[in-house]
Amino acid sequence: MAKIPVKNVIVEMDGDEMTRIMWKLTKDKLIFPFLDIKCEYYDLGVEYRDKTDDQVTKDAASAIKKHGVGVKCATITPDEKRVVEYKLKKAWGSPNGTIRSILDGTVFRKPIIVKNIKPFVRTWKKPIVVARHAYGDIYKSSEMVVPGEGKTELVFTPKSGDKKSVVIHDFTGAGVIMGIHNTEKSIRAFAKTAITYAIAEKLPLWFGTKDTISKTYHGYFKRLFQEEVDKRQEDLKKAGVEYKYFLIDDAVAQVVKSEGGFVWACKNYDGDVMSDMVATGFGSLGMMTSVLLSPDGHYEYEAAHGTVQRHYYEHLKGNPTSTNSVATIFAWTGAITKRGELDKTPAVTDFARKMEEAVIETIEGGTMTKDLMAMAEPKPAKHASTEEFIDAIAARLQQKIAKNKEL
């Protein structure tokens, strides 16, 4: 069978533990047999990140800037326990955080809907896309333990002019403080990207902060977001897209009561937490797409979940596993689709669509991993192993491609 040529490079970022196993299976069984694809490979496994002092992560982000499209496997963000386990030099930061800081932009996470797995939130009938601001706030914070009595201040030292300061707290005993920041450039990029996505998808756009309490910091987000919305009023109206602002606690209540079908723009921490809530509400983090879209038009697709550590330990013992690879597969299909769109190669985008259809049809046909079987209605007689699930998808994909050639 002649392979479909992919014109330009996709930046490939390998990962850790069980997702690294699934990554290889996905490439070997679902991609390389069908596509003539050029990947620029970066090993973001924690051991190689440690070996390169995390330079490999920065190099991977730079490669995405160069080539426009990247796809990333799930990776370990090590805590002290992991430092000991993997004999690391230090507890390196999140690779996702590093890449997001370099690319900036917004992370869009969207549930993958299948007929035989119903949302846990009974009102939800349409996908909720969480648009997470991917820069700053707690993820770029500076922290300090206050050892005892004393005054803490927030100080701004301009390049010229007088210092400005505000008192944070007069401590009478030990405590802790944190400083967070964001930039006008990044907030505006977040708003612009979320607006552009909502217009392209013709979906209502929601945004929420806690500006009643944080009148300056959160109020700044609210004001800049509204200014960007005002600039695109004509485009929003033409696309039939309505913009709604909520206090974040009201937004959460409205989301749970809604039927879905909108883009929910969230500040960085809110988006981190709420995307997990939305994923769980629809079924699983393993059934969620995730793409970082930078304001410069660069795309990074990834699996939204972790490295499935427990399954990996079973794999190392030689025991069978049943690990859900859907998010990993959809990370690849997202990158392949975008590469095909940018390269104007419809055969490539058509292949990615067929792979996604093969995944959904496999699950709806009753072949699924253990985590999905627990939520399925009706439940299949047994669950598939990690390899059996990917093999079943590969068989359906092969049939689709063969059928297409006969037409």
- Please report the pLDDT score of residue 104 as a whole number: 80
* Domains parsed from the chain with CATH numbers: 1-107+284-407 (3.40.718.10), 118-141+180-282 (3.40.718.10)
Distance CA 352, CA 337 (A): 6
Tokens describing residue 218:
């959160």
283 vs 361: which has the higher pLDDT: 361
Distance CA 338, CA 332 (A): 10
pLDDT value at 400 more than 70 = yes
What is the radius of gyration, based on Cα positions, of the chain? 23
CB 172 within 8 A of CB 149: yes
- Please report the pLDDT score of residue 402 as a whole number: 86
pLDDT value at 230 more than 90 = yes
- Distance between start and end Cα atoms, the chain: 16
- Mean pLDDT in the chain? 94
- Please report the pLDDT score of residue 70 as a whole number: 98
| DSSP conformational letter for 117 | B
pLDDT value at 1 more than 70 = no
CB 46 within 8 A of CB 88: yes
- Please report the pLDDT score of residue 304 as a whole number: 81
| Residues in a beta bridge with 177 | 144
pLDDT value at 407 more than 60 = no
pLDDT in tens, 106-128: 999 999 999 999 888 989 999 99
Share of the chain above pLDDT 70, in %: 99
Distance CA 339, CA 64 (A): 12
Distance CA 376, CA 118 (A): 7
Tokens describing residue 203:
């979906």
- Please report the pLDDT score of residue 201 as a whole number: 92
pLDDT in tens, 320-364: 999 999 999 999 999 999 999 999 999 999 999 999 999 999 999
| DSSP conformational letter for 29 | I
Cβ neighbors of 82 (< 8 A, separation 6 or more) are 46, 76, 88, 91
| DSSP conformational letter for 140 | G
Distance CA 312, CA 19 (A): 8
pLDDT band at residue 169, thresholds of 50, 70 and 90?
very high
Three-state SS at 231: helix
pLDDT value at 105 more than 80 = no
- Please report the pLDDT score of residue 406 as a whole number: 61
What average pLDDT score do residues 171-183 get? 96
Count the alpha carbons within 13 Å of 372 in the hemisphere toward its beta carbon: 33
Tokens describing residue 404:
């297409």
pLDDT in tens, 66-82: 999 999 999 999 999 99
- Please report the pLDDT score of residue 274 as a whole number: 94
pLDDT in tens, 135-162: 889 988 999 999 999 999 999 999 888 8
What average pLDDT score do residues 70-96 get? 95
